[in-house]
Structure 1
Amino acid sequence: MTKKKKAYTFRKFTNDIHLWMGIGSGIILFLVCLSGTFLTFEEELKALTVKEFKVENTAKQKKSFETLFTNLSQEGSINRVTVPDDNSKPLEFNIKTSPKERRGSTFYVDPYSGNYEKAQKSYLDGFFMTMFKMHRWLLLDTKIGRPIVGVATIIFLFLAISGVILWFPKKWKWKAFKPGFKIKFSANWKRINHDLHNTLGFYACIFLVIMCLTGLCWSFVWYKDAGSAVLGAKVFGNRGGGQTINSQVTNENEQIPVENILSIANDIFDYEGKTTITLPKTATDTYSITKRKVSGWSPVTSDKLIIDVDGTVLKEEWFNDKPLNVQIASLIKPIHTGQIFGTFSKIIYFIACLIATSLPITGTIIWLNKLKKKRKRKLKK
């Protein structure tokens, strides 16, 4: 009697798609996920390698911004100043030290003594820049690497979804579900490897899907535009927003000190937070202020003000008052990187990225073990 061929089921189809997509993109996904794992705590790791600038004597009276501006003007053109939420922390000045410098350099300033120091470079800067380039375009030319990473991300999205489908047992009973929630360390190494792939992949899945859906915004313009259309708000729309409202003041005598501008901002945003003041560069510019409540539900959300040089509030924008779709569109980057809820979400993302890095390895081992089984069966026949 001839054996009946097993029907090619949806589960078998899903398994084949999962297998061959994983094999085809495994190396790329490993590199992208590995670099993403390192980048999760980039700022924290770099901070450990540089000497902290300390504020010496908080008992003294703070120097005026005008005095500090005068002292720092020799370093270049001052773009903005960031006032911390803690008096024991230094002010941060962003200064364009040369015409060629695009983003400016950070200078730490003691507001009591006036002493300042240019932010030190970490010896990890080069390493993390390499990780960034690997994560975004595999160290290739951006025109080549970016779409490759984008396609690999789409594949990873399908792998995550198909992986969840395969995680569900054929029989929907608790006894069948139970093994999928834990790793059986008492079993042989093949079973442990299978559980590492199956169970850890299941737990990390939701975070990996979020990373994929948001990460594609950097790979494809059409995807970013489609996301903007779906959300009804422009993704990355807050980039380069700057000062768009012109000053109405023509008399220089009506201009008030920066201290007063800061006081007005603190009166409106009456909470402890980190305040950044972007200075007017021309006679028609205004002050642009953003304030972040570091201890709030999300340390990356900010409220914004546009204030004229005479102290007139021209625009007031509270993050929590924005429609949900606008909030989501403006938070795509921190949602992708795990910064959205501070250290808590970063830890979760770090673990999820670490799991994602292991999946191509454990998946390949599962495939090789199955190949060995098939060869043994053929030899027996």
Structure 2
Amino acid sequence: MSAKTIKKWVFWTHLIAGLIAGIFVLCMSFTGVLLTYERQIVEFSERLYDVEVSTKGDSASQTKPTDRTRISTDEVVSILQTLKPNEPHIYVRWVNREGAAIPAWAGRHSFLLHPYTGEVLREGQDVVGEFFHVVTDFHRYLSLAGDYRVIGKNITAYANLMFIFLIVSGLYLWLPKRFNLRAFKQQTLLLKTYQNSHHRNRQWHFVFGIWCLIPLFVIALTATIFHFDWANKAIYGAFGESVPAREQHEGITSLAADIVPYETLFKAAQQHASANEYEDWYSMWMEIGEHKHEARFFIDKSIGHRQELAYSLFFDTQTAEVTQVLRKQDWSLGGQAWGTARFLHTGEYFGVIGQTVAGLVSLLACVLVYTGIVLAWRRLVSEPKRLRQYD
């Protein structure tokens, strides 16, 4: 089979796959753009609830001493237990900023608490949180719910596989006939002027496609771990490991067995962080009620949960003994690879710069879908129609 025939087959397969998956790739790409800075925007929305701290010498500080004393971790847990007495699985997130409101969860119920009085400043998500929840549901499941959610998940999963094929086949079709500097410039640089809209769309498709190739391929490839068992088996199997089984443990119905005050554990976690060069932590999460006699602290230097800037610290809630310290390097090689793939998908592995790149190439992927569909329409509809007029 000649190279010309192979390229023809690849072209038509690329075109058909693009028409089938294009609308879904557009949905995932556009929602990916909207989710680019989700963590930072949600963090900013929570900062609007920050409480101004009275300074020493103010009349307010003399009349309201509670404005200068943060409520304890035990008080936060007590408030949550009062609000949701049947929800022993609790998260408390301390932000290392004076006057920061306290995000807390009892089961799936979320609250934002006043840091000095314990007053509930917000219950549930605000408009910002709800917006990102809706966008995420559309990104993952096309907003299908209930028994139909699995259908939405499968559509996005297989559309993503087709997107990987489009990226690889697109690279093959992009290769110029002659390998010289002039040909590569024509395929990699935008022109100042175009002969017509078709010429412009074709050039955009080639140029944006090649510049986005690597990050888009990484984003699409890493997305497979959220959809397919074989992708997870492959990533762990590459290191001679099996995919970890889901933990099975007895459900916790009460926190009564926890003897050591949670505030004592929080202060111990702070001391541990300072002793391990994490004194500049940004936030510290405490989780209780997941495992019996255990409190887990997730100490994070970043907003975006960057793995290299965070670690988990486990305490026995009956003795205050540190039972485990878990950093990224303590995971298995397969676990490290999975975690890296997870954050490469959103770009967060490289911090805000990575997020920006991921958001930008997602936006350009929308342009690729648009130009691809327009070019396909011309090839399949407009051009044949024009030729028939001359028959």
With the length of structure 1 as denominator, give the TM-score of the two structures: 0.80
1:181-260 residue pairs with structure 2 within 5 A? 181-187=188-194, 188-232=196-240, 257-260=264-267
Report the CA distance between 1:258 and its aligned residue: 3.2
Report the CA distance between 1:242 and its aligned residue: 9.6
- Structure 2 unaligned runs (5+)? 56-67, 252-256
In the alignment, which residue of structure 1 is the partner of 2:61? none
1:154-193 residue pairs with structure 2 within 5 A? 154-187=161-194, 188-193=196-201
Report the CA distance between 1:295 and its aligned residue: 8.0
Match of 2:294 among 281, 286, 297: 286
2:88 is equivalent to residue 105 of structure 1: no
2:372 is equivalent to residue 363 of structure 1: yes
Partners of 1:241 and 1:353 in 2: CA distance: 38
Match of 1:16 among 4, 12, 15: 12
2:152 is equivalent to residue 133 of structure 1: no
Secondary structure at 1:26's aligned position in 2?
helix
Aligned CA distance change for structure 1 residues 301 and 215 (closer, same or farther; 3 Å): farther
Report the CA distance between 1:324 and its aligned residue: 5.1
Secondary structure at 2:126's aligned position in 1?
coil
Secondary structure at 1:56's aligned position in 2?
coil
Higher helix share: 2
| 1:3-60, Cα deviation, whole Å (9 max, x unpaired) | xxx9743222221221121122222222232222223334445566678111321653
Q: Which range moves more in the overlay, 195-204 or 36-45?
A: 36-45
In the alignment, which residue of structure 2 is the partner of 1:117? 121
Partners of 1:363 and 1:256 in 2: CA distance: 58
Report the CA distance between 1:68 and its aligned residue: 4.3
> How many residues are matched?
362
| 1:103-141, Cα deviation, whole Å (9 max, x unpaired) | 23132331x454442356333555544433332233341
Match of 2:95 among 81, 84, 87: 84
Contact between 2:284 and 2:297, CA under 8 Å: does it hold in 1? yes
| 1:245-287, Cα deviation, whole Å (9 max, x unpaired) | xxxxx995899833443344324433111211223578x4122
Report the CA distance between 1:75 and its aligned residue: 2.0
Look up the equivalent residue of 2:214 and give its one-letter code: I
Partners of 1:127 and 1:61 in 2: CA distance: 34
Partners of 2:81 and 2:27 in 1: CA distance: 44
| 1:52-87, Cα deviation, whole Å (9 max, x unpaired) | 111321653434333444455422356132222333
In the alignment, which residue of structure 2 is the partner of 1:247? none
Look up the equivalent residue of 2:126 and give its one-letter code: S
Aligned CA distance change for structure 1 residues 166 and 38 (closer, same or farther; 3 Å): same
Contact between 1:91 and 1:108, CA under 8 Å: does it hold in 2? yes
